[in-house]
Amino acid sequence: MISELLQEDPLVIALVERFGSAIEAGSLEHDQTILYISAASIVEVCTVLRDEHGFNRASSVTALDWYPQEPRFEVVYLLHNVKEAARVRLKVRVSGENPAVDSVTGVWPGTNWYEREVFDLFGVTFNGHPDLRRIMMPEDWEGHPLRKDFPIHGHKYDYGETNQ
């Protein structure tokens, strides 16, 4: 469902015409455009936004965890058109079981570290990412700290004292 507030927006009209049902929903919040994109066509939509609509950079990529709802994750892309000072926010819903979405590093190389951050803190895998490793937490860390079901005090560590 695309909000009435966006029916006149030329960008939204162009995208819906081109991708049809891949643009799942859209809304306008505090004058900021939010579009829900189906996971299968996110790379395609981003390429078109970059090449035809001037969105020459991605400010950031992040995620939301709506645990225990399903689909659990939303991966959020904050895009920016520098020339026209226009911004748009894309969201992709990702299921909680083996969460994965295609990487957009091929479109904007600057998303590389942001996707690694989402992978590290939320455990969402990015298919086709050139170097998907943890970026914030130690390499041998278990779990993903920004998930809502991650214990706030962390996991209890056994330092070997109890086993003696």
Choice between 109 and 143, CB closer to another protein? 109
Site for another protein contains 28 (CB under 8 A): no
Omega prior to 68 cis, within 30 of 0: yes
Cα–chain-centroid distance for residue 154? 25
Instruction: Please choose, out of 9-17, 77-85, 92-100, 154-162, the segment that lies near another protein by the rule CB under 8 A.
Output: 77-85
What contacts 134, CB < 8 A, 6 or more positions away? 116, 119, 120, 141
What's the closest the beta carbon of residue 77 comes to another protein, in angstroms?
11
Q: 2 and 16 in contact (C-beta within 8 Å)?
A: yes
Give 3-state DSSP helix, strand, coil % of the chain, rounded to 5: 25, 30, 45
Instruction: Kindly indicate which of the ranges 10-18, 41-49, 51-59, 92-100 contains the residues binding another protein, using the contact rule CB under 8 A.
Output: 51-59
Q: Does residue 78 bind another protein (CB under 8 A)?
A: yes
Q: Does the footprint of another protein cover residue 51 (CB under 8 A)?
A: no
- Residues 104/61, Cβ–Cβ less than 8 Å: yes
Give the number of residues written for the chain: 164
CB of 159 to another protein, least distance (A): 26
- Is residue 125 near another protein by the rule CB under 8 A? no
Task: Kindly state the smallest distance separating residue 29's Cβ from another protein, in Å.
Answer: 6
Which residues of this chain interact with another protein, rule CB under 8 A? 29-30, 32, 34, 56-60, 62, 64-65, 76, 78, 82, 85, 87, 89, 108-114, 136
